[in-house]
């Protein structure tokens, strides 16, 4: 990568992060198409499918640690937690570290760490309307979803539906197109994944605050 490419890329990130922060302040959610260019989200997509062929994914549950229960009537995707030891995954985690610092600088959110997983929905897969965090429960403060799907069209379904927390009305239907990043407040914004006619892949992640106390170390997930 040349010096100019490097500059363009960090400039683009700064522009995206500023727009995300503004939208979070105004309405609690943000959509950033083209956050990652094709070459970068394709290498994540390749990595995701490689990990899936290696049988590393497991059916997704609801809740954390001990209360992680499988509820296929609510969601039926498969997931794999990202790790810094994998180069493609580490590159993405580094970008989210930059976003974490920018969010803390401008919104004083005290975001402490980030956890993220690949998610793979088979055709017809869904995740019913939900919040990512019940107040005080999982200390997830800000959610992110990055889509890794090539050439997604509207008739293929699979939209992320964002609901207004007050009125319950649909506010947006976002296509899971490769490179699009969605960011929203985990405790406030109800959302839903509607079924698609094809396989759908993404990285869902959460910035968390630290809720450890003297009696209990905050579990990582």
Rounded to the nearest 5 percent, the helix, strand and coil shares of the chain are: 30, 30, 40
- Closest residue (Cβ) to Mn ion? 132
Looking at the Cβ atoms of 86 and 195, the one nearer to Mn ion is 195
Show the binding pattern over residues 137-156: x = contacts ligand OGA (CB under 6 A), - = does not: --------x-----------
**Which DSSP state fits 206?**
E
Distance CA 110, CA 104 (A): 6
Q: Can you say how many angstroms the Cα of residue 165 is from the centroid of all Cα atoms in its chain?
A: 19
Size of the site for ligand OGA (CB under 6 A): 10
Task: Find which of Mn ion, ligand OGA, none residue 48 binds, CB within 5 to 8 Å per kind.
Answer: none
Interface map 161-190 toward ligand OGA (x if CB under 6 A)? ---------------x--------------
Scan residues 86-105 and list those touching ligand OGA (CB under 6 A).
none
Residue 132 within binding range of Mn ion, rule CB under 5 A: yes
Q: Give 16 or 31: the residue with its C-beta nearer to ligand OGA.
A: 31
Angle between helices 87-107 and 3-27 (to 10 degrees): 50
Is the distance from CB of 165 to CB of 28 less than 8 angstroms? yes
CB atoms within 10 A of CB 180: 23
Q: Write out the residues near ligand OGA by the rule CB under 6 A.
A: 119, 127, 132, 145, 160, 176, 191, 193, 202, 204
């Amino acid at each position: 990568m040349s010096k100019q490419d490097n500059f363009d890329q960090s400039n683009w990130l700064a522009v995206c992060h500023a727009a995300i922060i503004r939208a979070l302040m105004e309405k609690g959610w943000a959509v950033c198409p083209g956050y990652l260019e094709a070459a970068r989200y394709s290498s994540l997509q390749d990595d995701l499918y490689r990990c899936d062929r290696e049988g590393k994914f497991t059916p997704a549950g609801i809740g954390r640690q001990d209360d992680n229960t499988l509820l296929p009537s609510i969601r039926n995707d498969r997931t794999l937690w990202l790790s810094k030891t994998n180069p493609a995954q580490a590159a993405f985690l580094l970008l989210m570290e930059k976003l974490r610092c920018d969010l803390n600088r401008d919104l004083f959110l005290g975001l402490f760490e980030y956890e993220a997983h690949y998610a793979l929905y088979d055709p017809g897969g869904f995740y019913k309307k939900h919040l990512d965090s019940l107040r005080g429960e999982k200390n997830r403060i800000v959610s992110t979803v990055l889509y890794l799907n090539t050439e997604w069209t509207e008739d293929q379904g699979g939209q992320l539906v964002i609901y207004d927390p007050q009125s319950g009305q649909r506010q947006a239907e976002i296509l899971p197109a490769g490179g699009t990043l969605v960011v929203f407040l985990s405790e406030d914004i109800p959302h839903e994944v509607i079924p698609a006619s094809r396989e759908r892949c993404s990285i869902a992640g959460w910035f968390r605050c630290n809720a450890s106390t003297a009696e209990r170390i905050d579990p990582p997930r």
